[in-house]
Amino acid sequence: MKNRKLAAVAGAALACLLATPAVAQKPVSKGAMLEVKAKIVALDSTSRLVTLQDDSGESETIYAGPEVKRFDELKVGDTVNFRYYESMVFAIKKPGAPASTAPADAAKVVRSQGAKPGATISEQQTATVQVKALDPKKAAITVLTDDGRTVSFQVDDPKNLKGVAVGDKVEITYTTAVMITVKE
């Protein structure tokens, strides 16, 4: 995958990941949106493969599964716009606090009704993680996930890290969504 941005956003369109915590304290959130435009340069209707090329000339081929109901309406030359949104929200849990009663993981696909195919795809997942490191000067937190991954996040306001210590349990909510629109 030469073009990481195109590959990441196109891949996210196929499988989005989110996480949602129960909020005992006021949540802290940080969001980001990435927008990528690409032109359809090749279509393989039999294999349902779409080759996209961005403005820099980098291309990526993605599989459009059966959930892409309007695949046959796609044409070479169409422009596909991906808007990828990810936010991080966390609430502090005191060490030894009971497990969250947050809602179960959920995924949602909303298809557009416009002249061209399009959809918004989102998914939620809740994870309770352990604080591994704090950097109040940079308003950053590093956590250890249940599967052993170490992940770092920015925090909007350094004051929200007050009272948080290494070893505390933190609930993290990832909200990712991809809005896909096709234009001629």
- Judged against a pLDDT cut of 60, whether residue 1 lies above it is answered with no
Domain boundaries, the chain: 4-183
Token pair for 75 = 């044409």
Q: Smallest Cα–Cα separation from 80: which of 166, 182, 148, 184?
A: 182
- Judged against a pLDDT cut of 50, whether residue 70 lies above it is answered with yes
The per-residue pLDDT for 20 is 26
- Residue 17: other Cβ atoms inside 10 A: 15
The per-residue pLDDT for 87 is 61
Q: Strand 79-93 and strand 140-144: pairing? A: unpaired
**Separation CA 89–CA 121 (nearest Å):** 19
**Separation CA 21–CA 129 (nearest Å):** 11
- Mean model confidence pLDDT for the chain: 74
Residues 79, 86, 101, 104: what is their CA dihedral angle, to the nearest 10 degrees? 20
- Judged against a pLDDT cut of 90, whether residue 43 lies above it is answered with yes
**Separation CA 99–CA 12 (nearest Å):** 29
Confidence of residue 166 (pLDDT cuts 50, 70, 90): very high
**Separation CA 42–CA 80 (nearest Å):** 13
The per-residue pLDDT for 30 is 52
